[in-house]
């Protein structure tokens, strides 16, 4: 990946977040990653990416507030569409004494589910190479109707053939796949993903694997894709596997005392952001994983999916920071 600024679109669903502390804000896996990518990039004199978010929202006051939040935080909104009847979904978070999350959702009428009914803005960008990379997750796939999901995957295959970069997070929520076998769609994405962020527990449920070695074997056997697997294991070391060179590296996580853990809601999303921004800067997987761990360790010590930009430390190459 070259050092020129890449136009990266994050596709998915952002929701109204009702935090465990009673506060209300926003959150959603791919938007969380976009948020942290943008605020890491804002620290740099020459950021490696321009951050775009693709989703659909409604016309209610809170939907307007979300659009305003994107503008105020320099997240490009060319791919943010409006639905005249639907609106943003909601979720409520409660936590165990160790900061682990328990969710309750209201997303049946989510505007994001109807994204591809609203226009061809993103499809055209994929077809005509108007962007450089797209980041999506298992949740991004799950919220779409089956016909739209198939259409989207076909567009992603075409984008890949033209040299586009595909970044995939395996975030798996069984409740979103009721009555549907998720494996065909997950396998379709894994076949074209350049970087795959894999939470180990999700892999175990999806494929019946039991450890990182089996995850690597499952995805690399017979694969010709020049793919980087980034296996997240919570508070344990992450595992990096390059399918091209067949190298495996473990990078230790930052240890956070249990009493300091407040909210693990966006730990994996922040991890992905830290890894991506640093990797686009210097293509050093170990350094990128170290930044990822450090950012995740900060995020879990604060309430909510999106912590204030003032709480995000300077984790990147000091020579590249804005003075």
- CB-based contacts of 15, cutoff 8 Å, min separation 6: 26, 27, 28, 88, 89, 90, 91, 105, 107, 110
148 burial level (CB within 10 Å; 0-12, 13-18, 19+): middle
Q: How far is CA 288 from the centre of its chain?
A: 16
Angle at 46 between CA 40 and CA 49, to 5 degrees: 60
> Can you say whether the dihedral through the CA atoms of 12, 170, 252, 302 is positive or negative?
positive
List helix spans (H) across 114-211: 121-127, 138-142, 146-161, 183-190, 200-207
Q: Which residue among 132, 185, 263, 269 is the active-site one?
A: 269
Helix (H) or strand (E) holding 82: strand 80-82
Question: What are the DSSP calls for 248-292, one per residue?
Answer: EEEEPPPP--GGG----TTHHHHHHHHHHHHHHHH--HHHHHHHH
* Residues whose CB is less than 8 angstroms from the CB of residue 217 and which lie 6 or more positions away in sequence, other chains included: none
Judge whether 85 and 17 are in contact, CB under 8 Å: no
269 catalytically annotated: yes
Residues 6+ apart with CB under 8 A from 286: 240, 249, 251
| Catalytic center residues | 269
């Amino acid at each position: 990946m070259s050092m020129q600024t890449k136009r990266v679109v994050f596709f998915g669903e952002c929701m109204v977040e009702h935090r465990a502390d009673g506060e209300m804000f926003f959150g959603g896996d791919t938007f969380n990653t976009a948020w942290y990518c943008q605020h890491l990039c804002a620290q740099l004199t020459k950021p490696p990416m321009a951050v775009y978010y693709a989703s659909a929202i409604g016309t209610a006051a809170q939907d307007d507030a979300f659009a305003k939040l994107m503008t105020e935080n320099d997240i490009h909104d060319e791919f943010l569409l409006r639905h005249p009847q639907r609106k943003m979904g909601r979720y409520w978070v409660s936590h165990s004494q160790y900061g682990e999350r328990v969710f309750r959702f209201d997303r049946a009428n989510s505007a994001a589910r109807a994204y591809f009914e609203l226009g061809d803005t993103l499809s055209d960008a994929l077809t005509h190479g108007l962007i450089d990379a797209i980041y999506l997750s298992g949740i991004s796939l799950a919220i779409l109707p089956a016909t739209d999901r198939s259409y989207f995957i076909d567009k992603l295959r075409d984008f890949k053939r033209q040299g586009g970069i595909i970044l995939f997070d395996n975030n798996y929520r069984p409740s979103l796949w009721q009555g549907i076998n998720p494996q065909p769609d997950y396998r379709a994405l894994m076949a074209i993903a350049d970087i795959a962020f894999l939470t180990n527990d999700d892999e175990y449920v999806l494929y019946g694997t039991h450890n990182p070695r089996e995850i690597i074997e499952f995805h690399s056997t017979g694969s010709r894709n020049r793919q980087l697997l980034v296996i997240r294991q919570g508070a344990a070391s992450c595992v990096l596997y390059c399918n091209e060179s067949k190298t495996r590296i473990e990078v230790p996580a930052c240890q956070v005392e249990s009493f300091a853990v407040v909210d693990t809601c966006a730990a994996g999303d922040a991890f992905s952001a830290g890894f991506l921004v640093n990797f686009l800067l210097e293509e050093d997987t170990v350094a990128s994983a170290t930044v990822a761990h450090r950012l995740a360790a900060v995020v879990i010590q604060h309430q909510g999916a999106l912590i204030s930009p003032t709480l995000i430390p300077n984790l990147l190459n000091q020579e590249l920071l804005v003075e």
